[in-house]
Amino acid sequence: MRRVTLTQFLIEQQRKGLMDADLRLLMEVVARAVKAIAVNVSKGALAGVLGEAGSDNVQGEAQKKLDVIANDILIQANEWGGHLAAMASEEVEEIRPISSDYPRGGFLLLFDPLDGSSNIDVNISVGTIFSVLRCPEGSKAPTEADFMQPGTAQVAAGYSVYGPSTQLILTVGDGVHGFTLDREMGSFIYTHPNMTIPEDTKEYAINASNARYWEAPVQRYVGELQAGKEGPRERDFNMRWVASMVADVHRILTRGGIFMYPMDSKMKAQGGKLRLMYEANPMAMIVEAAGGAASTGRERILEIQPTKLHQRVPVVLGSKNEVERVVRYHLEA
């Protein structure tokens, strides 16, 4: 059986007219950065990269050493290639325009360098999430306003998961495709073609410790799942929660499920828990391209008009029929 590399796959996508050469090359640069991050994650304590960095990010969260390392790797890999006009990271308050020392391209790259980094020290899967937008025409000096595009404007999105194997998941709007890193060869190999999410599921992922803060529609929904065969759903459900969005979404993409970080009274002032631009939008694009659905509970995530770079939103995504049920409960409330 012929093994197709990421480069070969991307060239075929370009030939089909699904991406241009600059976007293809940008995807390859991101993939190289992912490989470098994977090396650092896999070495762990051997390389002295575990533990706190001694600094906070723009969200006021304590940074891990690997948060900082992953952020630096992505910036250094992408700033000189000539494909980008600017970058934005979850870890940094302001956008990073491409320096005049380098050629400037037509894309904007947003990323969460290391999602789930609180799991690093206990050796649980973490990942990287990224989103690609086009820089508006005529923008000679990119500003934060150029990034304020709804998720429907994304031209590509993806994530990597650093687990027993390193996998890279991509979409350019035409299906979702998975690649596994062959560590000996140093290449991503096309291993998961046309990934799809079943419309129905018996698994759900939510941080149950926040139950007392949830709004009534979510309490109603989760209560029905917990009631199992004896409840109104008349079947048993299993809860899975990794506390790493990448890991939880990857499970859903592999075998179905619903992931929820809903609005709750604790997070209401902030607008939600997860970041729209770095987490919700790219994951929503991937999930919808795989046949699933993604909502805040009240509106489609991809249709939200961003108002600030680090905006937060509630997230409900995964198997279509379950997400639609949660949305219906919000509408009825």
Q: Alpha helix locations (H) across 170-280?
A: 216-227, 245-255
CA dihedral 279, 133, 32, 25 (to 10 degrees): 160
Neighbouring residues of 69: CB distance < 8 A, sequence distance ≥ 6: 37, 40, 49
Please check if 116 is assigned to a binding site: yes
- Global pTM reads 0.94
Q: What is the pLDDT of residues 186-228, one digit of tens each?
A: 899 999 999 999 999 999 999 999 999 999 999 999 999 999 9
- Joined together, the tokens standing for residue 257 give 């499920």
Please check if 273 is assigned to a binding site: yes
Q: What is the pLDDT of residues 6-23, one digit of tens each?
A: 999 999 999 999 999 999
Mean pLDDT for 279-302 is 98
Please check if 118 is assigned to a binding site: yes
Q: What is the pLDDT of residues 39-86, one digit of tens each?
A: 988 887 776 666 665 555 556 555 678 888 899 999 999 998 899 999
Please check if 117 is assigned to a binding site: yes
- pLDDT computed for residue 101 by the predictor: 86
Which residues are 261's β-sheet partners?
315
Domains of the chain listed by start with CATH number: 6-192 (3.30.540.10), 203-332 (3.40.190.80)
Q: What is the pLDDT of residues 150-188, one digit of tens each?
A: 999 999 999 999 999 999 999 998 899 999 999 988 899
- pLDDT computed for residue 48 by the predictor: 67
In this predicted structure, the answer to whether residue 142 has a pLDDT above a threshold of 60 is yes
Please check if 207 is assigned to a binding site: yes
E strand residue ranges, the chain: 52-56, 62-64, 84-89, 96-97, 107-115, 126-134, 156-162, 166-171, 177-182, 187-192, 203-206, 238-239, 258-261, 274-275, 293-295, 312-313, 315-318
CA dihedral 145, 149, 155, 161 (to 10 degrees): 90
- Joined together, the tokens standing for residue 37 give 């991050």
